[in-house]
């Protein structure tokens, strides 16, 4: 039979699905057999892709030659198979010309630059010599808009040697500078008064500068060079933006500059006069590139902070690094030998100056103190001045002149540079009143005291501090943290299980002992306050109250009672789940009547009445946007970045609702997931987990039902039992066709008789009576017996534990 005619036969007979064996889905030429006018297409090769369905590009990455993914072909003679591919875009238009597949290297690469969009691949392996073929499943590659480049400001330029320019930047370009093509650098225009045609050829950078070197030639003495077009240079991840005119003037050959007098502004800054500079602006930009090479010698090993060192008004201002200072009465030498700007020479490369500390003002300075509080634990009051740099120890003028008004015994006084410590260890203060009491510290009388050396005088004013009251402590409360415990139906909570953490006590109180007031037959309190089971407990509720005795035994706190609840195990799916166990030895399910098998699921009735919906579902069955977005905003906090919103028996969710959920979560750096449960007669039959962030390009709506007991699911199961030997379970998703994204499904599936470690998943197309195997499903089985798997298509899903085998 001609292959093209064979394919048309498949289309013609697809209307006979109800009476014909399901056929393996095939959209390309493949080996075919014909029996009773029904064509069944088969793959002799297994064709799988790696990377294709997990690769996403931004527009700037999707360039010619980029590798999209790799292909593996297995089967007899597979190594000599030729590969061909078919690709369509989101408008169902063929875009094969944009891609190529290599039969030898088994790689898929780009032939043309891609723009934003979705591209669907299917790859075929064919061996004409052996008359064998195979085809992969459809996979998708997303190309998204390239991220905006980070703007890099270029603020200055200086001559760097006779053939290079050094541009000051505010972003670290060191990782990308060497990759800038020469053709990009030659987009920069370099002009002088004669219209010079110099061009840059190479680039290098560090964290603060970008150095460009001429391809040929050099900058001429006495000429001013201006640079434009930096913003035309393509730099990966960055855009260059000039801040004003960028230019420099090459000084006359070896222009001599002389260092003059040194003036110290303070203990960290010195100014050095400069003479011989004919072009101050040109010298400034040249100096900025070499100022980090200045050295200084003298006591304390001072070092230069280049970021704070500058040239202006024929003066170099030198600032020391943090933690480095000039020492009073010491000489310092500033050496500029290694800091020679291009085009200049130092007539005197070093200069010396002596630092003399600036005297403190001779006028009286008031010293005031921050309020202080007397500590029962340390028995000390520390008074701290809020006047900067005051040395209270000058001449020991305060010794013997500090007193506290209103006390029987004066404290011991310790005076440091800007603090006074009053030690009451041997003269404790008490306060029996219910309010705090203030005490006044006096310095040699009401008028304060003047003291100091000949260069400085200070006037100290009075200070106050507060003494805590000794009345009984505030009321203390205790709060235990507990939560319900889930147990499997019929099981118990084991002896010694923790049911509540140690209590949280208010007012920083600590407890001495704990004792149960109620439920003492079943629960026990450990020495740290943790509550554990005293014996094995089953489902039920227990009221718990605990007495807490404080360390000083001054009071006993009774915690607010709480109720411990032990529930049966949940009948809803976990978020994750563990992989299935070993193969079951149960009898083949084909020995049972198919209708009886689902008798506990509504006797195979043609319609199933679902339970009521949750409050976040509208009357028409759609998910209520306002409610679920509010739930997301409530969930996302600084300590919780993930929100999972549950809806029950909703029929649909719109793309716009999912986008609003994602936006509400992303504003605080979080994620949002919609969990859509199908609940029938009080039991959860299935759940869809929909990651709202994946709906960015989605349009329309997603239907939300998941069922293994619907009329459709039962009829599909009966059809597959008729033609295949396998044990199977069938679930029907209300959404038919592609979801437009990957979703996670959890379903309460009957896997009796199946090997849970080798499950396989097939998608069945009722209209065409065809099926194909789903890959990359990443299935798991959770502790509640729900099967979790990933799919990008809805409709009917068949679960089995081996490849479908015809009877």
Read off φ and ψ for residue 345, nearest 5 degrees.
Answer: -130, 150
Angle between helices 625-635 and 655-666 (to 10 degrees): 20
Give pLDDT tens digits for 476-510: 778 888 777 877 767 788 888 888 888 888 766 77
pLDDT above 60: residue 787: yes
Do residues 215 and 197 touch, judged by C-beta distance below 8 A? no
pLDDT number for residue 34: 30
Question: How much is the pLDDT for 11?
Answer: 25
Position 799 pLDDT exceeds 90: yes
Mean pLDDT of 743-769: 92
Phi-psi category of 78—alpha, beta or left, where left has phi over 0 and alpha has psi -120 to 50?
alpha
Give residue 213's pLDDT band: very low, low, confident or very high (50, 70, 90).
Answer: very high
Confidence band for 200, pLDDT divided at 50, 70 and 90: very high
- Pick the residue with more confidence: 486 or 126? 126
**Coil, helix or strand at residue 230:** helix
- What's the rounded Cα separation, in Å, for the pair 139 and 117? 14
Burial 681-702 (b: 16+ CB within 10 A, else e): eeebbbbbbbbbbebeebeebb
Strand partners, 296: 334
Averaged pLDDT of the chain = 78
Identify the residue with better confidence: 514 or 374: 514
**792/76: higher pLDDT:** 792
Residue 26 burial (10 A CB sphere; 0-12, 13-18, 19+): buried
Compute the distance between CA of residue 749 and CA of residue 759 in angstroms, rounded to an integer: 12
pLDDT reported for residue 389 = 66
Least confident of 218-222, 359-363, 628-632, 784-788: 359-363
Q: What is the pLDDT of residues 26-75, one digit of tens each?
A: 433 333 333 323 233 346 788 888 776 555 777 777 778 888 888 888 88
User: Is 705's pLDDT higher than 90?
Assistant: yes
Q: Report the distance separating Cα 710 and Cα 400, nearest Å.
A: 96
- pLDDT greater than 70 at residue 446: no
Cα separation, 736 vs 794, whole angstroms: 5
Task: Judge whether residue 543 has pLDDT over 50.
Answer: yes
For 464-474, the pLDDT digits (tens) are: 877 765 444 45
- Would you say the pTM of this structure is higher than 0.75? no
List pLDDT tens digits, range 310-323.
988 889 999 999 88
Residue 431 confidence (pLDDT) = 52
Contact 405, 429 (CB under 8 A): no
Residues 6+ apart with CB under 8 A from 804: 720, 724, 726, 762, 771, 798
Q: Find tokens 């292959």 and name the residue.
A: 3
What is the SS3 assignment for 191? strand
Beta bridge pairs of residue 126: 82, 133
d(CA 454, CA 459): 14
Give the per-residue SS3 of 394-460. Answer: HHHCCCCCEEECCCCCCCEEEECCCEEEEECCCCCCCCCCCCCEEEEEEECCCCCEEECCCCCEEEE
Residue 786 has pLDDT above 80, yes or no: yes
Q: Check residue 269 and give its pLDDT.
A: 93
> In this structure, what token pair is assigned to residue 361?
């003002």
User: Nearest-CA neighbor of 240 among 290, 187, 301?
Assistant: 187
pLDDT for position 388: 66
Tell the burial category of 107 from Cβ atoms under 10 Å away from its Cβ (0-12, 13-18, 19+): middle
Task: Give the mean pLDDT of 344-359.
Answer: 83
Condensed to tens digits (0 to 9), the pLDDT of residues 169-194 reads 988 888 888 888 898 898 899 988 77
Q: Chain centroid to CA 135: how far?
A: 38
pLDDT digits (tens, 9 = 90+) for 575-630: 543 333 333 333 334 333 333 333 333 333 333 445 788 899 999 999 999 999 99
Find the length of the chain: 807
Q: What is the pLDDT of residue 672?
A: 92
Q: Where are the beta strands (DSSP E) in 476-624?
A: 478-479, 485-487, 498-500, 504-505, 511-516, 523-525, 531-533, 540-544, 546-550, 556-558, 562-568
Q: How much is the pLDDT for 63?
A: 78
pLDDT given for residue 194 in this prediction: 74
517 three-state secondary structure = coil
Round to whole Å and give the CA distance between 451 and 360: 13
Residue 418, CB-side half-sphere exposure with 13 Å CA sphere:
12
686 in Cβ contact with 748 (< 8 Å): yes
Low-confidence winner among 156-160, 378-382, 550-554, 660-664 (lowest mean pLDDT): 550-554
Q: How confident is the model at residue 3 (pLDDT cuts 50, 70, 90)?
A: very low
% of residues, the chain, pLDDT over 90: 22
For 543, counting Cβ atoms within 10 Å of its Cβ (0-12 exposed, 13-18 middle, 19+ buried), the class is exposed
CA pair distance 18, 403, nearest whole angstrom: 105
Q: Is 254 helix (H, G, I), strand (E, B) or coil?
A: coil
pLDDT digits (tens, 9 = 90+) for 730-752: 999 999 988 989 999 999 998 98
- The yes-or-no verdict on residue 544 having pLDDT over 60 is yes
Tell me the per-residue pLDDT of 240-294, one tens digit each, with 9 for 90 and over: 888 888 888 887 767 888 988 998 988 899 999 998 887 777 787 778 878 888 9
Q: What is the pLDDT of residue 575?
A: 58
């Amino acid at each position: 039979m001609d292959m093209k005619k064979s394919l048309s036969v498949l289309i013609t007979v697809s209307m006979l699905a109800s009476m014909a064996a399901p056929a393996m889905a095939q959209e390309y030429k493949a080996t075919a057999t014909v029996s009773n006018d029904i064509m069944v297409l088969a793959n002799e090769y297994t064709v799988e892709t790696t990377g294709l369905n997990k690769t996403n590009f931004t527009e700037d990455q999707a360039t010619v030659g980029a590798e999209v993914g790799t292909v593996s072909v297995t089967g007899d003679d597979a190594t000599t198979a030729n590969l061909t591919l078919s690709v369509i875009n989101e408008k169902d238009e063929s875009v094969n010309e944009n891609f190529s597949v290599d039969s030898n290297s088994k790689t898929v690469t780009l032939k043309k630059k891609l723009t934003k969009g979705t591209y669907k691949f299917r790859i075929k392996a064919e061996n004409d010599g052996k008359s064998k073929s195979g085809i992969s499943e459809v996979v998708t590659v997303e190309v998204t808009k390239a991220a905006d480049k980070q703007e890099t400001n270029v603020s200055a330029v200086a001559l760097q040697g006779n053939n290079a320019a050094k541009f000051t930047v505010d972003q670290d370009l060191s990782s990308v500078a060497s990759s800038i093509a020469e053709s990009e650098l030659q987009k920069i225009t370099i002009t002088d008064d004669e219209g010079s045609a110099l061009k840059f050829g190479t680039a290098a950078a560090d964290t603060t500068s970008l150095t460009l070197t001429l391809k040929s030639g050099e900058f001429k003495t006495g000429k001013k060079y201006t640079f434009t077009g930096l913003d035309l240079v393509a730099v990966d991840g960055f855009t260059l933006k000039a801040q004003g005119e960028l230019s420099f003037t090459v000084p006359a050959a070896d222009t001599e500059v002389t260092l003059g007098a040194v003036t110290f502004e303070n203990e960290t800054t010195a100014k050095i006069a400069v003479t011989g500079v004919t072009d101050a602006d040109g010298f400034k930009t040249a100096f900025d590139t070499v100022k980090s090479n200045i050295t200084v010698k003298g006591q304390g090993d001072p070092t230069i902070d280049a970021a704070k060192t500058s040239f202006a008004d024929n003066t170099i201002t030198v600032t020391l690094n943090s933690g480095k200072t000039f020492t009073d009465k010491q000489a310092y030498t500033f050496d500029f030998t290694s800091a020679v700007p291009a085009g200049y020479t130092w007539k005197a490369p070093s200069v010396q100056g002596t630092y003399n500390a600036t005297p403190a003002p001779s006028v009286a300075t008031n010293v005031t103190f921050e309020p202080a509080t007397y500590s029962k634990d340390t028995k000390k009051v520390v008074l701290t001045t809020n006047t900067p740099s005051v040395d209270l120890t000058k001449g020991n003028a305060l010794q013997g002149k500090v007193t506290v008004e209103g006390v029987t015994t004066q404290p011991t006084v310790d005076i440091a540079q800007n603090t006074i410590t009053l030690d009451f260890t041997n003269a404790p203060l008490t306060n029996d009143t219910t309010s705090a009491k203030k005490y006044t510290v006096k310095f040699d009388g009401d008028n304060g005291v003047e003291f100091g050396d000949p260069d400085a005088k200070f006037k100290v004013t009075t200070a106050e501090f507060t003494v805590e009251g000794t009345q009984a402590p505030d009321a203390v409360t205790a709060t235990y943290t507990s939560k319900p415990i889930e147990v499997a139906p019929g099981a118990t909570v084991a002896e010694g299980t923790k049911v509540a953490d140690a209590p949280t006590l208010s007012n920083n109180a600590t407890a001495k002992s704990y004792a149960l007031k109620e439920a003492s037959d079943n629960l026990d309190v450990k020495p740290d306050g943790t509550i554990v089971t005293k014996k094995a407990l089953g489902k039920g509720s227990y009221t718990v109250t605990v007495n807490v005795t404080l360390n000083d035994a001054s009071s006993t706190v009774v915690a607010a009672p709480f109720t411990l609840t032990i529930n049966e195990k949940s009948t809803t799916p976990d978020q994750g789940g563990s992989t299935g166990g070993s193969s079951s030895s149960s009898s083949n399910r084909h020995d049972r009547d198919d209708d009886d098998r689902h008798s506990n699921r509504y006797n195979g009735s043609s319609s199933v009445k679902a339970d009521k919906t949750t409050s976040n579902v509208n009357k028409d069955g759609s998910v209520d946007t306002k409610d679920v977005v509010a739930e997301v905003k409530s969930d996302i906090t600084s300590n919780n970045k993930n929100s999972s919103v549950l809806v029950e028996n909703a029929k649909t969710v719109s793309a716009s609702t999912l986008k609003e959920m994602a936006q509400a979560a992303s504003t605080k750096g979080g994620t949002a997931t919609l969990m859509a449960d199908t609940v029938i007669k009080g039991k959860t039959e299935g759940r869809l987990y929909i990651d709202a962030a994946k709906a960015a390009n989605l349009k329309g709506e997603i239907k939300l039902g998941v069922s293994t007991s619907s009329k459709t699911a039962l009829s599909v199961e009966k059809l597959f039992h008729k033609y295949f030997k396998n044990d199977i379970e069938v679930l029907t998703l209300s959404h038919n066709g592609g979801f437009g994204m990957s979703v996670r499904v959890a379903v309460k599936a009957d896997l009796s008789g199946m090997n849970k470690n080798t499950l396989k998943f097939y998608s069945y197309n009722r209209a065409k009576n065809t099926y194909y195997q789903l890959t990359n499903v990443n299935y798991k089985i959770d502790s509640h017996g729900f099967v979790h798997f990933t799919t990008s298509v809805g409709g009917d899903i068949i679960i089995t534990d081996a490849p479908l085998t015809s009877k």
